[in-house]
Amino acid sequence: MRLLTIVGCGLVGVAACGPTPPVPQTAPVPPPPEGALRTPASFASIEAPDARAAALFVEASRVMLHPRCTNCHPAGDAPRIGDDARPHLPEVVRGPDDEGVVGLRCDGCHQEQNLELARVPGAPHWHLAPREMAWEGLDPAALCAQIKDPARNGDKTVAQIVEHAGHDALVAWGWDPGADRAPAPGSQAEYAALMQAWAEAGAACPEPPKETP
């Protein structure tokens, strides 16, 4: 019986009886430096377009899920402030047009630029994102599904989303927040490059987190 086994291995060859060759692995994407964004080139080792697009979006979502963005994309009807997303003071509400209510309109305090002495942030057309564009509390998968949905993204195409990311003046404020506020990671140009690469790879979304039993 032992002889038959040895002969059998000899007939089948090394593939069956020798060591299994290692499976080629995708090169790991290096982590970003603190406060920086990885470039699209960092994801070039991911060959499958959908997987590469998903990874690119996760990196870009570090901007969208940063407090500089989520504070004005709240889950409720009032903006948040600070890196800890504390309630806005004075107490304000979004109002019917997402720009506040009579007596407490957004542009009553927020001008088209930061007011450094008063520590009041500002940028053109300061306002809250509509309720359907709330980002607060989302994970990258839910965020991606939302911004691709015309019913929840202002009826924009993917190309228009990329354009908005790269050229909107209010988006740009995230990297120039004034006072001692921490800016979003990277720069607007780097963020837009990630979004452009995501679109070019097919704009696939990352998988939602697996639920633990």
Q: How many domains does the chain have?
A: 1
- The pLDDT of residue 31: 77
Residue 79 lies in a domain: yes
- The pLDDT of residue 178: 95
- The pLDDT of residue 11: 35
Residue 17 lies in a domain: no
What range defines the domain where residue 134 resides? 49-200
Residue 109 lies in a domain: yes
Contacts of 6 (CB under 8 A, 6+ apart): none
Length of the chain: 213
- The pLDDT of residue 34: 81
Residue 34 lies in a domain: no
Residue 26 lies in a domain: no
pTM: 0.84
Q: Answer for the pair 179, 48: CB distance below 8 angstroms, yes or no.
A: no
Sign of torsion, CA 52 54 60 66? negative
Helix ranges (H only) for the chain are 2-12, 14-17, 49-64, 67-70, 140-148, 158-167, 169-172, 188-200
Q: Position 161: which residue type? A: I
Work out the number of other CB atoms within 10 angstroms of the CB of residue 147: 24
Residue 210 lies in a domain: no
Residue 70 lies in a domain: yes
Residue 212 lies in a domain: no
Average pLDDT of adjacent 10-residue blocks, the chain of 213 residues? 39 40 50 89 97 98 98 97 95 96 96 96 97 97 98 97 97 96 97 98 95 71
